[in-house]
A = this chain, B = another copy of it.
Amino acid sequence: MPEPSLALDDTTEGDDAPLLFERVAEAVRALIAARALVAGDRAPSLRASARHLGVSVATVVRAYEELEREGRLEARVRSGYFVAAPASVAPHGRPRVAARVPAARPVRTGEHIDEIIESARLPGVVPFAAANPGVELLPSKALGRALRAVAAGSPAALLDYAPMAGEPALQREIATRASRLGAPVDPGDVIVTAGATEALAIALRVVTRPGDTVVVESPVYFGLLRLLESLALRAIEIPTDPVHGLEPAALENVLARTAVAAVVSIATFNNPTGSLVPEAARERIVALCARHRTTLVEDDLYADLHADDRRPRSYRDVGNESWVVTCSSFSKTVAPGFRIGWVISSRDRVALLERKLVASGSNARLPQLAMARFLADGQYGRHVARLRRAYREQLRCLRASVHRHFPDGTRTSDPDGGFVLWVELAGGIDTQALYRRAIADGISLAPGALFTNGRRFRNCLRLSAGEPWTERHDNAIARLAALAAAS
C-alpha cells in the first residue's frame, strides 16, 4: 500500500510564515483530518518524507515530536511513529499555574509519604511513584570494578573513617565538574554528604532558625516540605510556571514584603514539574537574593540530565555566589545506594561542616573512593550522555502514553530534562484516591497533594520515567487512565 503523500502548503510563505517543521506538521495534520491516515496507521517514514518534501530528517523528527505532543502521533519503541487513537487527538495543554501567593505558614505534612514512596519498591509494582533511576541504566560494571580496585588496596581504604569533609580525591572531582560553567570551586569548599538530602538539611540548619520563613516553589518536592516541618520553619509557596519555573517578579514581590531566611529552588528540571528557569531569570533571582541578603539554596540534582546538549548553568554560575549554597548528588545519575551528595559554599563552609559532623559524622569511605575512581577514569561523561538519551526517550514514551490513554483535558508538563512528568487530570479526580486504587492494581504513583503544604494539586500526579519503557509500562498507564475514568 502506497503511503499517503505529504505536501507542504506553499501559501504560507513570507516573513510571518511558520517554521519549516511547523509546515511539515501541518501537512500531517491535513492527512489525518482527511482520514488519509487513521488511528493505528504507520506515519510516513522519516527518511522518505524528508526526501519527498526536500527537508532534513531532523525537521521531520521535530514535526513528528510536535504531533506527538499534540497526541496526533504516538512513538512506539523501536518501531517508529503511528497515528494515535482519536480519543487522544486533542490539545494537551500544560498544567495550570495559580495566580495567588499564599501567606507564610507552618508546614504540616501527612504521615503517608513513606508508604507511597516505598510502594514503588514493592515486588511486581510498576514504580511510577519514586523518582529513582532504573538500576539497569546505571554503570554497575564500571562501579563494581572501581569498588573492587579500591577494596583490594590498603585495608584503611576499606575500613577507616574518611576525612571529615570528604575524600580529597572526590572533593577534587566534584569541584572540577562544578567549576566548568562558572566561578572556580575550591575542592576544600566541597563537603561530601549523605545524598542531596543531607546537603539540604545542613544548609537549612545553617541559614535558618526555627520559626523563620523559607520560600519554596509550588508544586514542591515533598522531601523539602518534610525537612521544613522538622526544622519548625514556615513556608511560602510561590506558584511556578510548568515551563519556566520560579519567576523573578513573583519572588521579588514576596521578598519586598516578607523577611525570608532562605529561598530553595530547583532551577534545572524541577521536581515535580520538570521546569527550567531561563538563564536571564536565574541572574535576576540571584541578584534579588543578594539584595535582600537572603541565601539561595539550590538543589542542582538533575542538572546533568539535560535532554539537549547544553548543561544549564546553575545559580552559582550566573551571579554572586556568596549568596548561593549549592546542593547536589550522584543519586539520580550514578548510584542512589552510594548515598553520595555534596554541598558547596565558601561562605558557610565551616558552619556546614560542623552541622554535618554533628548530624552523622563523616561519610562512608569506600563508596567515596570508588566514586572518585569512577570519575577520575573519565567514565562519568560517557555514562551520563547515554543516560540522558535514555531518560529523554523514556520521558517521551511516558508522556505519549499518558496522552494516548487519558482523555481530553489532561495536561502534562514537557520537561527538557530529568525524568519525571507532572500531570494535571480533569478537575474532580482525586489522585490520593486514585493512588489507593492503583496500588491495589500494582501501579504506584505520587499524588499531587504530596507536593504542597496547601490544598492544591489534588487532581495532579507525578509519574517517574526512571525505568526503560516497555509494554508493561504502557499497559499500566492504560489501566491508570481507566481507573481515573471510573472515579
Known: A135-B156, A155-B138, A210-B210. A337 touches B161 (CB 8 A): yes
- Among A121, A162, A194, A197, the most chain B Cβ lie within 10 Å of the Cβ of A194
The contact of A160 among B158, B337, B365, by CB within 8 Å, is B337
B366 touches A337 (CB 8 A): yes
CB-CB under 8 A from A162, the residues of chain B are: 337
Copies of the protein in its oligomer: 2
Interface residues of A in 138-165 (CB under 8 A from B): 138, 140, 143-144, 147-148, 151-152, 155-156, 158-164
CB-CB under 8 A from A359, the residues of chain B are: 197-198, 201, 230, 359-360
The contact of A339 among B147, B354, B362, by CB within 8 Å, is B362
Interface residues of A in 59-110 (CB under 8 A from B): none
CB-CB under 8 A from A161, the residues of chain B are: 132, 331, 336-337
A140 touches B164 (CB 8 A): no
Interface residues of A in 160-189 (CB under 8 A from B): 160-164
A358 touches B227 (CB 8 A): yes
Interface residues of A in 103-121 (CB under 8 A from B): 111, 114, 118, 121
Interface of A is mostly: helix
A337 touches B360 (CB 8 A): no
CB-CB under 8 A from A158, the residues of chain B are: 140, 143-144, 147, 335, 337
The contact of A363 among B193, B226, B339, B362, by CB within 8 Å, is B339
A360 touches B201 (CB 8 A): yes
A159 touches B114 (CB 8 A): no
Would you give the shortest CB distance from A365 to chain B, in whole angstroms?
A: 4
Would you give the shortest CB distance from A264 to chain B, in whole angstroms?
A: 14
Known: A143-B159, A227-B358, A361-B198. A114 touches B164 (CB 8 A): yes
Would you give the shortest CB distance from A211 to chain B, in whole angstroms?
A: 10
Q: Is A221 an interface residue (CB 8 A)?
A: no
CA of A359 to CA of B363, assembled, Å: 13
Known: A201-B358, A359-B197, A366-B337. A152 touches B144 (CB 8 A): yes
CA of A359 to CA of B196, assembled, Å: 10
CA of A338 to CA of B367, assembled, Å: 9
CB-CB under 8 A from A223, the residues of chain B are: 358
CA of A33 to CA of B364, assembled, Å: 55
Q: Who on chain B is nearest to A232 by CB?
A: B210
A118 touches B163 (CB 8 A): yes
Would you give the shortest CB distance from A13 to chain B, in whole angstroms?
A: 53
CA of A336 to CA of B365, assembled, Å: 9
Q: Is A292 an interface residue (CB 8 A)?
A: no
CA of A363 to CA of B339, assembled, Å: 7
Across chains A and B, which 8 residue pairs bring their CB atoms closest together, nearest first?
A337-B365, A140-B155, A194-B360, A197-B361, A198-B360, A339-B364, A161-B336, A230-B358
